[in-house]
Amino acid sequence: MKDKTAVIILAAGKGTRMASDKAKVLHPIEGKEMIRFVVDEAVRVAGHNVVVVVGTQAEKVRAVVSESHPGVRFARQDEQLGTGHAVSCAIPELPDNAEHVLILCGDVPFIRASTLAELMEAHIRSENVITVLGAEMDNPYGYGRLVTDEDNRVRAIVEEADATEAQRKIRLINSGIYCVDRHALKSFLDRVRPENVQKEMYLTDIVGIAAGEGGRIGMVVCTDNHEIMGINTPADLRQACAVIASNENP
Supply the pLDDT for residue 243: 87
The whole-number average pLDDT for the span 144-157 is 90
Quickly list H helices, 98-227: 113-125, 165-168, 182-190, 205-212
Between CA 130 and CA 101 the distance in angstroms is 10
Q: Which residues pair with 131 in a beta bridge?
A: 179, 218
Cα 231 to chain centroid distance, Å, stands at 13
3 state DSSP class of 237: helix
Residue among 174, 182, 178 at smallest CA distance from 49: 182
pLDDT over threshold 80, residue 2: no
Of residues 17, 76, 191, 238, which has the active-site annotation? 17
Q: What percent of the chain has pLDDT over 90?
A: 83
Between CA 116 and CA 39 the distance in angstroms is 12
Q: Are 200 and 85 in contact (CB under 8 A)?
A: yes
Supply the pLDDT for residue 246: 79
* Parent domain of 147: 2-248
Domain count across the chain: 1
Q: Which of 74-78, 97-101, 126-130, 162-166 has the lowest mean pLDDT?
A: 162-166
Single-letter amino acid, residue 132: V
* pLDDT tens column, 186-225: 999 999 998 877 788 999 999 999 999 999 999 999 999 9
Please confirm, yes or no, whether 193 is among the known catalytic residues.
no
Between CA 20 and CA 22 the distance in angstroms is 5
3 state DSSP class of 13: coil
* pLDDT tens column, 10-20: 999 988 899 89
Of the pLDDT bands very low, low, confident and very high (cuts 50, 70, 90), residue 248 is low
CATH no. for residue 158?
3.90.550.10
Q: What is the pTM of this model?
A: 0.94
Supply the pLDDT for residue 139: 92
* pLDDT tens column, 28-86: 999 999 999 999 999 999 998 999 999 999 999 999 999 999 999 999 999 989 999 99
